[in-house]
Amino acid sequence: MEDPFAPIASQEEIVLSVTQCIEYVNFVIGRKTVVVEGEITGYSVSQNKWVFFSLRDEQGVIACFAMVYQLSGRYEDGMRVRIWGTPRLHQKSGKFSLYIDRMEATGEGALKRAFELTKKQLEKEGIFAQERKRALPRMPKVIGLIDSKESAAHTDFMRILNQRWRGISVHHIQVRVQGEGAVDDIVKAFEWFNENDTGAEVIVMIRGGGSLEDLAAFNAEGVARAVFGSRLPVVCGVGHERDESLADYAADMRAATPTHAASLVVPDRQEVGAQIGRYVRTMVHAYESLLEWERHRVQQSARVVFLTIERAAQHVHHCIERIRNAFRYREQEIARFQRELVTIHTHSARSLTSCIVRRRESLASRTEMLRAVSPMGVLERGYSLIRKGGKVVDSVAALQEGENIDIVLHDGQRNARITQ
């Protein structure tokens, strides 16, 4: 950059106006951003737009100025901060100030206090309210992932994700997870998912553990608001189990670790397979119970018929004995009556036998009918059952190239992919 004040610097003595002098000083001291650490004093916000305070140490004080939107957290007097800014002389007042580009709390005490102040404000606004948190999709096909791809957290997350459920599409956005630019990266990632339809059903934000300063980006107010404003449910797996961040509170689901986040967003295929097996066994048991109930009902009907016939036969026998005793002297007539009764008895026996045969045939027919409609009966004849996403596929139109399906046979099931 050409120095517009080179002629001034090259002369031994030159008379400047006050304005020229201030412009010259600002040019000289404002060429590079300075990084200053100190303690806040006289912190105030004017019209919710401008921030004024002083930064001091044991021997000196610097006036500071910033716009509210430039600050990523909440601050107060007594907090120790690190400031990135440009020194300036105010033209009208002649006051020396530091114009802030970025400011962060530094030191564990200041970081904790900034965390508490921001958390209190966001709680007041309802950003952490449980009633607004959304349920996660049961079996998402596409996941949005916000993290640093070079981190161990990313590797662990992808490993657990693929172990539990395969075929998941991950739309990844690379971000810085600490240091300068991390907050802007994360906020822009959420804005991108809100503005673009990637097919993602849930967003996962992760990073590994670290100190309170390492996790500062996830305690930034802007990140918490970005999580809150996401149009998709958010799972936050930042740090280790003991670590807590404002992003965790704002998320729809908090994961203790990045690997725990993977276990929250997808089911375990072995558990799903076992559940399907339980469903099949329940169906088979239900059909067997129905068959047993029908068999019992037929047997009960047969016993009622036998009992009725037996009682009728006993009644006939008693009648014969009474007639025989009363009309013994009329043996021929009694004999005739006996022959008729024998005929009736024979006919009844034949009718009973025929009835029993019909009942048995009906029972056998119903048994075969129930066996025919039983899923296991159909599968044992060489048929198979196709499921996609846990639902039975009943049409070729429901299958698309590249989709995963489950083929259920009578002795187990296999996974397959539609290739054509």
Top-confidence range, 17-26, 40-49, 245-254? 245-254
Residue with tokens 């059909």: 287
pTM (2 d.p.): 0.51
pLDDT greater than 50 at residue 1: no
What's the pLDDT band for 365 if we cut at 50, 70, 90?
confident
Mean of the per-residue pLDDT values of the chain = 82
Tokens found for residue 46: 């004017």
- Backbone dihedral angles phi then psi of residue 273, each to the nearest 5 degrees: -60, -40
36 Cβ contact partners less than 8 Å away, ≥ 6 residues apart:
55, 62, 82, 83, 85, 98
What's the pLDDT band for 192 if we cut at 50, 70, 90?
very high
User: Span 4-16, mean pLDDT?
Assistant: 61
Higher model confidence: residue 180 or residue 248? 248
| Of the candidates 43, 16, 44, the residue with the CA atom closest to the CA atom of residue 28 | 16
CA dihedral 324, 330, 335, 340 (to 10 degrees): -80
pLDDT greater than 80 at residue 9: no
Half-sphere exposure of 62 (CA within 13 A, CB side): 22
**R_g over Cα of the chain:** 43
* Per-residue pLDDT reduced to its tens digit, 73-105: 777 777 778 888 888 888 777 788 888 888 777
- Contacts for 390-394: CB closer than 8 Å, 24+ residues apart: 390/139, 390/272, 390/276
User: Whole-angstrom Cα distance, residue 152 to residue 160?
Assistant: 12
User: Span 330-350, mean pLDDT?
Assistant: 77
Q: Please tell me the predicted confidence (pLDDT) of residue 11.
A: 54
User: Span 310-316, mean pLDDT?
Assistant: 83
User: Span 288-311, mean pLDDT?
Assistant: 83
**Range of weakest confidence among 146-155, 349-358, 367-376:** 367-376
Tokens found for residue 85: 């800014």
Q: Please tell me the predicted confidence (pLDDT) of residue 285.
A: 82
What's the pLDDT band for 116 if we cut at 50, 70, 90?
confident
User: Span 293-297, mean pLDDT?
Assistant: 84
CA dihedral 23, 24, 25, 30 (to 10 degrees): 80
Q: Please tell me the predicted confidence (pLDDT) of residue 271.
A: 74
Q: Which amino acid is at 347?
A: H
Identify whether the C-beta of residue 195 lies closer than 8 Å to the C-beta of residue 214: no
Identify whether the C-beta of residue 400 lies closer than 8 Å to the C-beta of residue 418: yes
DSSP string, 247-269: HHHHSSEE-SSHHHHHHHHS--H
Identify whether the C-beta of residue 231 lies closer than 8 Å to the C-beta of residue 249: no
pLDDT greater than 70 at residue 110: no
User: Whole-angstrom Cα distance, residue 144 to residue 190?
Assistant: 10
Share of the chain above pLDDT 90, in %: 10
* Per-residue pLDDT reduced to its tens digit, 208-265: 877 777 788 888 888 998 999 999 999 998 877 677 888 899 999 998 888 898 888 8
* Per-residue pLDDT reduced to its tens digit, 27-38: 777 777 788 888
- Pairing mode, strands 412-417 and 404-409: antiparallel
Map residue 5 onto helix, strand or coil.
Answer: coil
Q: Where are the beta strands (DSSP E) in 148-190?
A: 169-174
- Backbone dihedral angles phi then psi of residue 81, each to the nearest 5 degrees: -135, 165
| Of the candidates 260, 189, 198, the residue with the CA atom closest to the CA atom of residue 226 | 189
Higher model confidence: residue 70 or residue 163? 163
What's the pLDDT band for 327 if we cut at 50, 70, 90?
low
Share of the chain above pLDDT 70, in %: 91
Identify whether the C-beta of residue 103 lies closer than 8 Å to the C-beta of residue 71: yes
| Of the candidates 119, 148, 159, 306, the residue with the CA atom closest to the CA atom of residue 214 | 148
Q: Please tell me the predicted confidence (pLDDT) of residue 6.
A: 57
What's the pLDDT band for 360 if we cut at 50, 70, 90?
confident
Tokens found for residue 163: 């172990």
| Sign of torsion over alpha carbons 248, 253, 256, 257 | negative
Number of CB atoms found within 10 A of residue 227's CB = 26
Half-sphere exposure of 416 (CA within 13 A, CB side): 16
User: Span 15-43, mean pLDDT?
Assistant: 78
Q: Which amino acid is at 28?
A: V
DSSP code of residue 388: E
User: Whole-angstrom Cα distance, residue 398 to residue 419?
Assistant: 14
